Amino acid sequence: MTSAPLNPPPCRGARGSDLPAYVGNGMIGLRVREIPLLAGSAILNGVVGPDPDKGIEAAVPIPYPLAADIAIGEAWLSDQPWAAEDLLQSYDFGTGELFSQFLFRIGDVALTVEVTTFASRSDCSLVLQESRITAGQACSIRLRTLVDSRPAQGRMAERRTGGPSAGGGEGSLLWVPEGDLSHCGIAFHSRCSLTDDSMIAPKFGSGPLVAEYRVDLRAGQPVELHQITALIPSIVHHRPREEAVRRASLGARRGLARLRALNRESWAEIWKGRIVAQGAEPRHQQLIDAGFYYLNASAHRSSPAATSMFGLAHWPGYHYYYGHVMWDIDAFCVPPLLLLQPGAARSLIDFRARHVEAARRHARLDGRPGMRFPWQAAPLSGEEAAPDDGPAAAFAAHLSLHVARAFSLDADCTGDLRYLRDRGWPIIAGVADWLTGRLRRTQRGAELPCATGPAEVPDPPDNDSFTLMTAADLLKRAIRIGAGIGADIPAAWQDMLDALYLPRRSDGVIPAHDDFRIDEDKGATPSPLAGLFPMDYPAGERERQATLDFFLSRWRDYVGSPMLAAFYPAWAAMAGDRKLALDLFEEGYAAYDAGRFHQCLEYRVDHPDSAVPAGPFLANIGGMLMTMLLGLPGLRISGDSPEAWPHRPVTLPSGWSSIAVDRLWVRGRPMRLVAEQGKDRAQILPA
């Protein structure tokens, strides 16, 4: 039976410059302050507005759904937050519950406040909070629950409170972010354990949704305050306020205790896929568990607009990817989720499938056939929304390849031929058609002019190796999958695959591109190694080893940067260096951990480009999970029987004896993974 995850250490006191806790379920993401009753930040999947600086379509905060307040006499916590002391927060990754505790003291009266906050996985439109307040002496207090619109920019287009018009709850509203690009419905219920009477204030006008309770407490007597809030984006319902009322009312009938139990059952099911590194030091296992948690907390089978680089987390000062869906999601997050939570992985790629017309229009504007997917896909429209002149949007040819490859991996992992024919194959074929139009035939073969890889430099080089190695994998997959479903395969696909050119040096090293120099800008970027894994390019043994040796020896010049660094342990293991693999797990992933609750940052804090803490960064997290599930065990996802996916001996970091997963989903069946150090192959076995 899968053991429980290792939780992060509790945090005491004010967080300083650390990021607040991130609580999410793939539909809703909250930033919860260390005093959790004070409004943090909330993102609802698919709710967008114009970015205030760039004007582009971007994810924007909505009213905070779980705000609350406490008054002793006339002194409200929100007016005097400095009266809160002894702050404590802890996070249970096993259940997705954040626990906060503090002492609120005014004069001789002190209240102990304990708060549990979570986003429901069983009912993904709901976020919930339970506050337990205990007095040290007899006193009268007032409690408020509210939907706080102050952290958001927009307007209440409709607001209803109390009685049948609110669906039997305290209130509901229709929120429209600035720009009128989208809207959302919010409805909330609250319950106080010591009284049934609540005052809705104000009942009229456009103020916040507030319910207030007056309670007389005896010394040592606790009172519980329950909050259940439903949030519905307009992308899933044309009248989201009414749907939010229905969802909140259903949640209230079930009650917080039942919803909490259902949420725990949902997380227990997900944690059956826990990745256990036997022999790893506890801190490293903690970080593996944290990454597992944050990725799974950022995706849900019901997510209508995929997820962004930071999941559904938002905090002022760093949300510079605007909530856009980028290639990192398809390349780094979909593969592990296909094995751990395939329904959530499907929701991520289904976002692409819903916007194929935008991809066709992009290719048509380029004067090419097929589909070219946007570099920064806007959450609502799915169209290109890169800021300013968008150089990466114009020259990063590899983005579309990752989108199509994700659909091929879905086909191999799930075996769902109906979905493949209806949704996946048109995209795989469309991108393959675009690719053959993007390549250029020369005397050297099929070349790729003017394209950037992961090293996004201002002057795109010719023949980026990572893109070409990814192209080889995609064309093979497209030909195989098309033949398997009886589709017509254009001869140009095989012709381009046979003629595909790849730069090579005289010493056998695969360079990053034509005319590559190691001292060029971002020259240490190990993109050719990413072509070996996770793209599985079948390099010859000489060039494979030479390329590994060349780029691994320069790891110090790259780590600290985002994305590819998490693959370093797998590359070191492929080179047979177990000590280096352990060192690079620390340097290429663990050292990105900073602040509260293991929120893996985009850049290491010692990197010169690290301006502000920004996390949890899903590309780094997804890369680590791919390393654990595929790279170190030596798995290659293909159309073969899953038992044949292991394709090379198992080499693990020093001190690690095995990697084990009790439950992976493969073609609709539960399987387990056992990768023991030194074994000729890992094993994928029936669970």
Q: Is residue 1 part of a domain?
A: no
> Long-range contacts of range 160-168, CB-CB < 8 Å, 24 or more positions apart?
160/241, 161/200, 161/203, 161/209, 162/200, 162/203, 166/245, 167/245, 167/246, 167/248, 167/249, 168/249, 168/252
Alpha-carbon distances of 11 from 118, 405, 518, rounded to whole Å? 18, 41, 43
Residues 338, 432 within the same domain: yes
Over residues 357-374, the pLDDT tens digits come to 999 999 999 999 999 999
Residue 204 confidence (pLDDT): 56
Residue 202 confidence (pLDDT): 57
Q: Model pTM?
A: 0.97
For residue 168, pLDDT beyond 60: no
Residue 551 confidence (pLDDT): 98
CA angle 28, 29, 35 (to 5 degrees): 125
Which phi and psi angles does 271 have, rounded to 5°?
Answer: -70, -5
Q: Is residue 48 part of a domain?
A: yes
Rounded percentage of the chain residues whose pLDDT exceeds 70: 97
Over residues 245-302, the pLDDT tens digits come to 999 999 999 999 999 999 999 999 999 999 999 999 999 999 999 999 999 999 999 9
Evaluate whether 191 touches 257 at the Cβ level (below 8 Å): no
Total structural domains in the chain? 2
Residues 253, 135 within the same domain: yes
Residues 148, 231 within the same domain: yes
Split at pLDDT 50, 70, 90, the class of 394 is confident
Average pLDDT over residues 174-195: 95
Burial class (CB in 10 A: 0-12, 13-18, 19+), 79: exposed
For residue 479, pLDDT beyond 70: yes
Average pLDDT over residues 209-230: 94
Residues 408, 285 within the same domain: yes
Q: Is residue 178 part of a domain?
A: yes
Residues 220, 310 within the same domain: no
For residue 236, pLDDT beyond 70: yes
Q: Is residue 122 part of a domain?
A: yes
Among the candidates 238, 271, 304, a domain finishes at: 271
Over residues 415-440, the pLDDT tens digits come to 999 999 999 999 999 999 999 999 99
- Cis omega before residue 526 (within 30°)? no
Among the candidates 242, 271, 300, a domain finishes at: 271
Residues 21, 163 within the same domain: yes
For residue 44, pLDDT beyond 60: yes
Give the SS3 label for residue 29: strand
Q: Is residue 3 part of a domain?
A: no
Tell me the CATH number at 522.
1.50.10.10
Evaluate whether 209 touches 147 at the Cβ level (below 8 Å): yes
Residues 231, 315 within the same domain: no
Average pLDDT over residues 310-335: 92
Residues 230, 316 within the same domain: no
Q: Is residue 2 part of a domain?
A: no
For residue 197, pLDDT beyond 90: no
Q: Is residue 681 part of a domain?
A: yes
Could you tell me which residue, 617 or 162, shows the higher pLDDT?
Answer: 617
Q: Which domain holds residue 557?
A: 273-686
Give the number of other CB atoms < 10 A from CB of residue 672.
17
Residues 434, 553 within the same domain: yes
Among the candidates 271, 290, 308, a domain finishes at: 271
Evaluate whether 399 touches 451 at the Cβ level (below 8 Å): no
Residue 167 confidence (pLDDT): 39
Tell me the CATH number at 259.
2.70.98.40
Residues 366, 473 within the same domain: yes
Q: Is residue 515 part of a domain?
A: yes
Structure tokens at 399: 């983005």
Residues 421, 512 within the same domain: yes
Residue 1 confidence (pLDDT): 52
Residue 163 confidence (pLDDT): 53
For residue 316, pLDDT beyond 90: no
Split at pLDDT 50, 70, 90, the class of 200 is low
Cα separation, 572 vs 591, in Å, equals 17
Residues 288, 250 within the same domain: no
For residue 102, pLDDT beyond 60: yes
Could you tell me which residue, 136 or 2, shows the higher pLDDT?
Answer: 136
Average pLDDT over residues 110-122: 98
